């Protein structure tokens, strides 16, 4: 092959590459999607965990939703009040004080307090256990199974299995809601970080006798807490007590009168 053929080949290939590059550059400018500067700034104000706790596909999705007006400036539960105020400043909105939240597992039926129907040796995943006989080995079909699907879902190492029951580290919890969404028994809820000192450690809707046979701590729906609460902040619904934290004054009366020790501080 002569040097002339080689040079011609190089020039042809190089020229084609140059033309294609110029065409791509022109196309990029012509079809470029303009990004609102505020979106970039909002994205920078977000913590960058991409946990999905806001309900959008990562922090990029949340930032786009805020700028479009589809999400409030308080969209990020992880960033909390500081993040909300920073985003509010970018969007020209005033942001009031937002209450910090934390997750709470409504079950105190640990290995000592709960009873079992049989020994389970299958897949240790909470999302799979509901498909086994009785909805799991525990007598209480409403209780925490302790296989840690919530632990795997938490991006902040804020929830762990302790003696067979999931327990939240409220200091580490960012209230992203990942554990709430993954729990098949719907045992986890978000409660105020401050001003909510008392909690009902049970979610069973069974009748009193069945509850006592299944767990030493379960709520039997006796309504002593409801009758003695001076703030009308606790009521028995579907056989189990529920606290209205907006009314609760943390007086502790409900815990004192509970015969089962279901209400804990």
| Predicted confidence (pLDDT) per residue in 225-249, tens digit | 999 999 999 999 999 999 999 999 9
Looking at the predicted structure, is the pLDDT value of residue 218 above 90?
yes
Tokens of 16: 């084609």
| Per-residue pLDDT at 15 exceeds 80 | no
| pLDDT, tens only, 51-67 | 888 888 889 888 888 88
Tell me: pLDDT of 11 over 90.
no
Of 56, 82, 49, 81, the residue nearest 70 (C-alpha) = 56
**Helices in 133-235 by DSSP H: which ranges?**
149-153, 178-182, 208-214, 224-228
Which of 38, 216, 180 has the alpha carbon at shortest distance from 106? 180
Residue 122: predicted pLDDT: 82
CA angle (16, 18, 19) in 5-degree steps = 65
pLDDT at residue number 255: 96
Q: Look at residues 143, 255, 140, 114 and name the one whose alpha carbon lies nearest to residue 207.
A: 140
Asked if the model's pLDDT at residue 1 lies above 60, the reply is no
Q: DSSP assignment, residue 237?
A: E
Instruction: Summarize the confidence of residues 13-37 as an average pLDDT.
Output: 71
Please give the average per-residue pLDDT across 30-49, as a whole number.
79
Average pLDDT over residues 215-227: 95
Q: Which domains does the chain show, CATH number per domain? A: 37-91 (1.10.15.40), 100-194 (3.30.70.20), 197-265 (3.30.70.20)
**What mean pLDDT do residues 130-156 have?**
89
Q: What is the mean pLDDT of the chain?
A: 88
* Residue 13 DSSP class: H
Paired with 77 in beta bridges are none
What share of the chain has pLDDT > 90, as a percent? 50
- pTM score of the predicted model: 0.77
CB of 52 within 8 A of CB of 58? yes
């Amino acid at each position: 092959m002569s040097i002339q053929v080689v040079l011609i080949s190089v020039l042809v290939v190089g020229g084609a590459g140059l033309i294609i590059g110029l065409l791509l550059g022109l196309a990029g400018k012509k079809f470029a999607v303009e990004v609102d500067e505020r979106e970039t700034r909002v994205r920078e104000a977000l913590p960058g965990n991409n946990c999905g706790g806001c309900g959008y596909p990562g922090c990029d999705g949340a930032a786009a939703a805020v700028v479009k007006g589809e999400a409030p400036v308080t969209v990020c539960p992880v960033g909390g009040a500081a993040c909300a105020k920073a985003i509010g400043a970018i969007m020209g909105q005033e942001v009031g004080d937002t209450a910090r939240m934390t997750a709470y597992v409504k079950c105190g039926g640990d290995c000592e307090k709960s009873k079992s129907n049989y020994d389970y040796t299958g897949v240790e995943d909470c999302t799979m256990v509901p498909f086994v006989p009785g909805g799991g080995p525990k007598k209480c079909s409403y209780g925490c199974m302790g296989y840690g699907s919530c632990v795997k879902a938490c991006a902040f190492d804020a929830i762990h299995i302790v003696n067979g029951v999931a327990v939240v580290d409220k200091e580490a919890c960012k209230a992203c809601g990942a554990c709430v969404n993954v729990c098949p028994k719907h045992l986890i809820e978000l409660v105020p970080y401050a001003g909510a000192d008392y909690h009902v450690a049970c979610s069973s809707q069974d009748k009193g006798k069945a509850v006592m046979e299944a767990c030493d701590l379960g709520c039997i729906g006796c309504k002593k807490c409801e009758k003695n609460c001076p703030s009308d902040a606790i009521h028995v619904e579907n056989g189990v007590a529920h606290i209205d934290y907006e009314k609760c004054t943390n007086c502790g009366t409900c815990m004192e009168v509970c015969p089962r020790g279901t209400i804990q501080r």
